[in-house]
A = this chain, B = another copy of it.
Amino acid sequence: MDQHQDLIRDVPLLARLPEADLSALASRGRVRSYRSGDLIFREGEPGDSLHMVVEGQVRIVVLSPLGEEVTVTYLGQGECVGDLALLDGRPRSASAIASQATKTLVVTRGDFRRWLRERPQAAFALLETLSLRVRRTDEALADLALLDLPSRLAKRLLSLSGARQPAKGGSPAKLRITQAEMASMMGVSRESVNKQLNAFAREGWVSLGRGSVTVTDAKALRDLA
Contact = CB atoms under 8 A, between A and B. Distances in A.
Interface in A132-161: 132-135, 137-142, 144-147, 151
Nearest to A141: B141
A40 interface: no
Contact of A84 (B70, B90, B134): B134
A131 B132 contact: no
B116 A124 contact: yes
Interface of chain A, helix or strand or loop or mixed? Answer: helix
A39 to B, nearest CB: 20
Contacts of A124: 113, 116, 123
Contacts of A137: 134, 137-138, 141
Interface in A77-92: 84, 87-88, 90
Interface string A49-92: 00000000000001011100010100000000000100110100
A128 B88 contact: yes
Contacts of A62: 142
Contacts of A133: 134
A140 B141 contact: yes
B187 A131 contact: no
A141 B139 contact: no
A72 B120 CA distance: 34
Contacts of A130: 87, 127, 130-131, 134
Contact of A138 (B4, B120, B126, B147): B4
11 contacts: A3-B141, A64-B142, A72-B138, A72-B142, A88-B131, A90-B132, A90-B135, A93-B138, A93-B139, A117-B120, A144-B145
Interface of A: 3-4, 62, 64-66, 70, 72, 84, 87-88, 90, 93, 113, 116-117, 120, 123-124, 126-128, 130-135, 137-142, 144-147, 151, 186-187
- The 10 tightest CB contacts between A and B, nearest first, are A145-B187, A123-B123, A87-B131, A120-B120, A88-B131, A137-B137, A130-B130, A84-B131, A87-B127, A64-B146
